[in-house]
Amino acid sequence: MASQGTGAVPNERFRLMSLFIPPMYLMGFLERISQEFGAVSVIEPFFTYWGEGRLDPSHPLESVARKSYMLPEMRMYGPLDSRALDAITGCAEQYRVDGAIYYADVGCRHSCATIKLFKDTLSEVDVPVLTLDCDVVDPTITSQEEVREKLERFFELLEDR
Amino acid sequence: MNTAGIDIGSMTTKVVVLGDNGVLTSVVTSTGDDREVAAREAFEAALDRAGVRPGEAVYLVSTGVGGKSVSISQQHKAITTCLARGTGYQLPTARMVIDIGAESCTVVKLNSRGRVDDWASHDKCAAGTGIFLQQMAKLMQLPLEEMSALSRTAKGRADITSTCAVFAESDVISHVHRDPPTPAADIVAGIYYSVVSRIVSLCKRIGIQKDVAVVGGVALSGGLVGTLREEMGFEILVPDSPQTTAALGAAVLARENVEKGLGQ
């Protein structure tokens, strides 16, 4: 699709960074929202981004281990320094994102502790962040209507800047 | 073309009509059970008061919790966008606006162009909202206006939780029935502090940025605004008509649309 210059949605209006994991029970809904508003998640910098490090076929196990340690998500388990934060801002610039959505899993204190830090970091590259309180699998934490309302507000923010 | 904005809240419906030289009129009515009916009646009353002739074109933008469900508007916009435009119109130096409505509280941070930079809201509990204050007034058997005056005579402040409206009600009942009872003024001061501490923590989530304005129906309570001023530690701006700020913002957005050629 990319080679043909075709986007994931017919009318791409907003390029988004996803931070952490969207609620699984909302995947179909988020897909419909994506089509409706022309909003595409173009990068997730923790679990899916292939950051630093290269695989060495002559030392496969060692290089996979080293590579895994270099995943930005793994950086969060050590000192959360510029190596992890630079990956976020780097991705934001590389993928030309307009905004970021932080899926704040209310059960994960570890990741939620980074909301302010990531927000401040992304504001340095002028990327606004929407924080969506949710649970990856429990639909009682946040409703589809609430998510829709917040996303609509966020898209208006991006459009109006 | 005249433009108008309508903010349909859970308790009240607000309409602002903008003419070429500014606000022509504003109307505040009760929303009631049927939002469509409330919106039509408020809109017609506003047009009548503004002297807009029947059949004359008016571009209308709606907002608020009921804004999406009414058929009379040409466009619906988010409350955050409308608050930004309305505050920019009323108080151009404001960089943060706190909207305390009947059932929710929204804080919007504005950039130097008066656009939304960030926002935070809480709408999962009545704590920190107008309904909470109304409920507390009922419990204290005091009109809201009297509560405001009474709070200024307080010599202390009763401890009342800010995390849950139901628990806060239990706290107030305990203070009333204590032997000797906590003075009513101190209880009211505690009620205001409960609301304000919730609002201040919401502001801190996105970073407090001066000038700070407070709008919404609760901004009419001098006692609450005074408590907010004390907690923030600086002056808080209140526009002349704080209830209609979001409706005014919707009218400003309607004006922008007309200037772009929409609605012709």
Size of interface A-B (CB pairs under 8 A): 26
Range of the domain at B202: 92-238
pLDDT at B90 over 90: yes
- Collapsed DSSP state (helix, strand, coil) of residue A16: strand
pLDDT band at B136 (very low <50, low <70, confident <90, very high): confident
pTM (two decimals)? 0.87
Closest CA to A102 of A7, A15, A17, A35: A17
- pLDDT average, residue stretch B116-128: 81
Same domain as B223, residue B104: yes
ipTM of predicted complex: 0.81
Both tokens of residue B243? Answer: 């209830």
- Residue range B51-88, pLDDT digits in tens: 888 778 889 999 998 878 788 889 999 999 999 999 99
Contact call for A160 and B116, based on CB within 8 A: yes
CATH code for the domain in which residue B29 is found: 3.30.420.40
Highest-pLDDT range among A65-69, B177-181, B228-232: B228-232
Weakest mean pLDDT among A18-22, A40-44, A50-54: A50-54
Same domain as B126, residue B205: yes
Same domain as B263, residue B204: no
What is the pLDDT, as a whole number, of residue B123? 66
In degrees, rounded to 5, the angle at the alpha carbon of residue B128 between the alpha carbons of residues A101 and B154 is 145
Same domain as B161, residue B98: yes
Same domain as B182, residue B59: no
Weakest mean pLDDT among A112-121, B15-24, B129-138, B194-203: B129-138
Nearest chain B residue to A126 by CA: give it: B117
pLDDT band at A73 (very low <50, low <70, confident <90, very high): low
Per DSSP bridges, beta strands B58-63 and B96-100 are unpaired
For chain B positions 91-120, those within 8 Å of chain A (CB to CB) are 111, 115-119
What is the pLDDT, as a whole number, of residue A78? 67
- What top-level class would CATH report for the domain A14-49+97-160? alpha beta
Total domain count, chain B: 2
- For residues B79 and B253, is the Cβ–Cβ distance under 8 A? no
Both tokens of residue B51? Answer: 């002297």
